[in-house]
Structure 1
């Protein structure tokens, strides 16, 4: 079975959760800071996050928070967005991601490091589109980590002045939805960052008719 066929077959019959729960899937290459970003978003150390020669996250995990009276489920993902991640174990973790995010994610949060949008990031985006379909871009937000390294006055200026055509193309494909996190921020700054991301997500969900993203996987 191909990856999508395997997932479609194995996710059939998965139990959905309340439509009142928003689900965010953190996607991107290994080492981009997905787990640390998830912890910042949740306001607690839900996911293991540390520097290492090998990826720390080996399995999909989920943590939840409350935002404006709504439950938000944040799903951290292992390194199954690289081209080599096509073995049975990777398929099992992809299937787990699909089950956790049933009936579909409200946001795919693509995590990439500020100043380092590389060929690996580009391949990870390609893999996301292979798995979730091109329609997933309408539900995607680009989130830059290492906001503290920003060398210009604003993130908008960084994107505008960037000579990375692949990065600019990605942001355009995502409807110019992007923000940045300092995952070592003070509690006050953390709250401001989360508020910005949630505001972007809320506008995006409204633009998508209030619906989560669904395709044949769900």
Structure 2
């Protein structure tokens, strides 16, 4: 498949010139920002979980395919449009675009880490196809919902968009689908990784998550270790504290030490108990973020496309996909600049410290040279 071309801001204006109305767009974004702040405010006073709950399946997973949203293994939904119908058939009346009371979760991580199986464990239902193997089973973004203690849980499973080589047009279409299925934004990014196998591919996946959702995505991230059974009764906290994998330690610190473990083969009480542990971590994250969720400019664009009912092959949808590509490119560039700025600040601070402690530094250099000279003399006479 051919590589997607890089888009610039001028390219984007050329793609959708009739839609580019700065004043109207600024006013619309202002209204959307106010609505988002209102939802965040309402979420901050939300009723918390209390003990064990029962997760109920509310319909077949909804799949994004070529700009259309439909149920897998269920009745067809809203073909030929990206807008959402009022409810999922057979789903107990749950809205396809739930309000502030819903908990929006996206599963991220490298291929083969167990994202789909983890989604099934969260929903306590085999709604996502999951098979053991190195090749990805999930090819399109999928969304399914359940209920935990009266609160709707919306889970989005993802195709391989967090790989190093994931740069073609299909990837950008899937990224756009993720934004549409998660709008106005996710409360939690669940990074799925296998216990004892945090590799370079996982590091790349974390970087890609930041490229897709922007710097600061780690503030909404929770690490899920699959294969909990490999602990053999041991403590997950001890495993994390004593691991010699420095990159994993760094990620745990970056994510605010939010993590838990899943045995995706568990059932019954064991399955409900590990789900309760995850929800306790999520509840702590929501308290920390005061009920806020991750959002950015592209989520506003996704909401506008939903409300406008742009077709899968229409100009609005084409414009939206161009914005997806542009936004990911901008976020990727921002990450590179942040790394360069960090290196520059480190050097600058070192120079400033040397300037303040100049005499001490000179003395330290002379002492080091004297020590080396004495060491060479001793070695020469041995």
Q: Same fold (TM over 0.5)?
A: yes
Q: Equivalent residues in 2 for 1:63-74 (5 A)?
A: 63-74=144-155
> In structure 1, how many angstroms separate the alpha carbons of the residues matched to 2:8 and 2:188?
20
Q: Which of 108, 112, 133 is the aligned partner of 1:31?
A: 112
With structure 2 as the length reference, what TM-score do the two structures score? 0.53
2:100 is the counterpart of 1:19: yes
How many Å apart are 1:133 and its aligned residue? 1.5
> In structure 1, how many angstroms separate the alpha carbons of the residues matched to 2:116 and 2:134?
16
Unaligned runs of 5+ in 1: none
Tell me: higher relative CO, structure 1 or 2? Use CA pairs within 8 A at least 6 residues apart. Answer: 1
With structure 1 as the length reference, what TM-score do the two structures score? 0.92
Q: For residues 94 and 191 of structure 1, do their structure 2 counterparts lie closer, same or farther at Cα, with a shift above 3 Å needed? A: same
2:143 is the counterpart of 1:62: yes
Instruction: Choose 1 or 2 for highest CA Rg.
Output: 2
How many Å apart are 1:135 and its aligned residue? 1.4
Deviations 1:144-168 (A, max 9, x none): 0000011572000000110000001
2:181 is the counterpart of 1:100: yes
How many Å apart are 1:68 and its aligned residue? 2.0
Residues 139-148 or 203-212, more deviating: 203-212
> In structure 2, how many angstroms separate the alpha carbons of the residues matched to 1:194 and 1:4?
43
2:268 is the counterpart of 1:190: no
Deviations 1:66-107 (A, max 9, x none): 112110100100110001111110111111011000000000
The aligned counterpart of 1:132 is 213
> In structure 1, how many angstroms separate the alpha carbons of the residues matched to 2:172 and 2:285?
29
Q: Which of 43, 66, 73 is the aligned partner of 2:124?
A: 43
Give the root-mean-square deviation of aligned CA atoms.
Answer: 2.3
The aligned counterpart of 1:199 is 280
How many Å apart are 1:2 and its aligned residue? 4.5
The aligned counterpart of 2:156 is 75
Q: For residues 57 and 30 of structure 1, do their structure 2 counterparts lie closer, same or farther at Cα, with a shift above 3 Å needed? A: same
The aligned counterpart of 1:155 is 236
Deviations 1:186-213 (A, max 9, x none): 3110000100101111110121111111
Unaligned runs of 5+ in 2: 17-24, 29-81, 84-96, 300-382
The aligned counterpart of 2:259 is 178
Q: For residues 4 and 70 of structure 1, do their structure 2 counterparts lie closer, same or farther at Cα, with a shift above 3 Å needed? A: farther
Contact 1:4 1:217 in 2 (8 A): no
Q: For residues 72 and 163 of structure 1, do their structure 2 counterparts lie closer, same or farther at Cα, with a shift above 3 Å needed? A: same
Contact 2:111 2:134 in 1 (8 A): no
Aligned residues: 215
The aligned counterpart of 1:109 is 190
> In structure 1, how many angstroms separate the alpha carbons of the residues matched to 2:232 and 2:266?
17
The secondary structure found in structure 1 opposite 2:191 is strand
Contact 2:163 2:204 in 1 (8 A): yes
Q: For residues 179 and 53 of structure 1, do their structure 2 counterparts lie closer, same or farther at Cα, with a shift above 3 Å needed? A: closer
Deviations 1:42-80 (A, max 9, x none): 000010000234211101101111112110100100110
Q: For residues 173 and 136 of structure 1, do their structure 2 counterparts lie closer, same or farther at Cα, with a shift above 3 Å needed? A: same
